[in-house]
Structure 1
């Protein structure tokens, strides 16, 4: 029996991974790590409360765990420190293998500013002595329509760039494959992308057709993008503004364009298209 801890089980990604693994394989003993046990998925499994920032609670929750599925924490200025605290607790608890949800362009100077946070976490995990697998996903296809404002406009400095966004369910499916046999994926870093690279005008047209909404892309300059977001969210901190704007500049400079074969190799099937991803995401309708 292998004990697998899953973080983020109350969220969309961790929740789907939980549903894929719970009861599906008698070799696996699941442990869900959540902030609030009352919100944990209704499955017959062990539930522990902890946060990434609380070393002692994380240490207690992780003792006896062999494989850890670490879903990246909510965006924020303290995320690097929180991740490093949790990684240190995992190593101290004796976790053998960490499967971490990273970002496809993760690096110390990647254009998308939050990708730099993911790189920092990868470095912490790699230096911890634990075996590891990095799932470097692109932006989620099913989230892209949420970039549009109330008027149905995706607005930003994406120019004519393209991105190979991926269905969130495909990332969960890939995580489940890795978690069932983590030793087969030790040391791997998989780029998880969709089957094609799309321009933002294509995203708007095709997503709008599925959702029954009129969506369109309007290009902004970089300074114009900062100004529009400061006007719309006057209380937003600088790191958040940088993240929002760099979402588009990363598309513009081509760093999110590459279509990777990794997902198809892991799943034995083609990744879902934009249309297929949205059809599985009813919350995007209306």
Structure 2
């Protein structure tokens, strides 16, 4: 069985390739793709097949999918402008006779109407269903790594600031989510399923502050702001007005509970508990330090 992973030069896609091989896939049966194939040279050195695949260039997609059985479509990275690229991959998968398409969607994509990131994912889920391609939807909750920067800053300031109130987040590490995707790609079945992939336990920003206290060795507190107040703080820190409003709006949606629903699905599929908040953040900080060294 040949498995193709899109966006394999990114954090999640690369981890999926690692997880596939760790779970028994032969490197030569994995096709890692990216817009810039040179970024995959280290994977090629391990025996992984590599190919150019650009969501906006259908010719590259068709060529990469030739002879492929299963595809992981890692969602594009630019909100608001990624559905057409996703459609190109889905259309090519249908034409190539792919037997399983796995798509990385967003939490509660079709029902989270006040979540700015949901629209693209809901539209993609709809076009996948309409295409008839055998598919599995994995809706990834927030990456724990998203908050490593908060912890690093808190080492200096002693404060973590967000506009999510006391809401919870059922986040998971990229590595755990990648392993879940690898299981779905490798194992028989799963077609037709929509999986909410989360950590085992939802945590609050007060819990994040406690984790930062443990990791930094200094007391860290959480300061909750309103959405508008948080947007103003982000602008003052240098973010453009539109970006600041978008980020603060996401925090507001989190405050309304869009990421709070912890499910056992991911842990069941990977066969172990998901990584804890403290351990996930520690690993992310260690990776950042190693990259900077």
TM-score, length-scaled by structure 1: 0.88
- Aligned-pair CA distance for 1:215: 4.1
Is residue 228 of structure 1 aligned with residue 233 of structure 2? yes
Over 3 Å counting, the alpha-carbon distance change for 1:103 and 1:214 in structure 2 is: farther
Over 3 Å counting, the alpha-carbon distance change for 1:51 and 1:212 in structure 2 is: farther
Query: Within 5 Å, which residues of 2 pair with 1:150-189?
Result: 150=153, 151=157, 153-181=159-187, 183-189=188-194
Q: Distance in 2 between matches of 1:47 and 1:222?
A: 43
Match of 1:260 in 2: 263
Match of 1:207 in 2: 212
Partner deviation per Cα, 1:103-135 (whole Å, 9 max, x = no partner): 122126533311222111111211111111111
Query: Within 5 Å, which residues of 2 pair with 1:88-99?
Result: 88-99=91-102
Query: Within 5 Å, which residues of 2 pair with 1:236-275?
Result: 238=242, 240-275=243-278
Query: Within 5 Å, which residues of 2 pair with 1:102-113?
Result: 102-107=105-110, 109-113=112-116
- Aligned-pair CA distance for 1:43: 2.2
Match of 2:32 in 1: 32
Contact 2:80–2:120 (8 Å) recurs in 1: no
Q: Distance in 2 between matches of 1:201 and 1:106?
A: 26
Over 3 Å counting, the alpha-carbon distance change for 1:213 and 1:143 in structure 2 is: farther
Partner deviation per Cα, 1:238-263 (whole Å, 9 max, x = no partner): 3x445412331122112211110111
Residue ranges of structure 1 left out of the alignment (5+ in a row): none
Over 3 Å counting, the alpha-carbon distance change for 1:211 and 1:6 in structure 2 is: farther
Match of 2:131 in 1: 128
- Secondary structure (helix, strand or coil) at the match of 1:74 reads coil
Residue ranges of structure 2 left out of the alignment (5+ in a row): none
- Aligned-pair CA distance for 1:160: 1.2
- Aligned-pair CA distance for 1:6: 0.6
Over 3 Å counting, the alpha-carbon distance change for 1:115 and 1:148 in structure 2 is: farther
Q: Distance in 2 between matches of 1:233 and 1:79?
A: 26
- Aligned-pair CA distance for 1:96: 2.3
Over 3 Å counting, the alpha-carbon distance change for 1:254 and 1:56 in structure 2 is: same
- Aligned-pair CA distance for 1:212: 4.4
Aligned length: 282
TM-score, length-scaled by structure 2: 0.87
Contact 2:28–2:49 (8 Å) recurs in 1: no
Q: Distance in 2 between matches of 1:278 and 1:255?
A: 21
If each structure's helix is expressed as a fraction of its own residues, which one has the higher value?
A: 2
Partner deviation per Cα, 1:254-280 (whole Å, 9 max, x = no partner): 221111011122122221111221233
Match of 1:100 in 2: 103
Contact 1:111–1:246 (8 Å) recurs in 2: no
Contact 1:22–1:43 (8 Å) recurs in 2: no
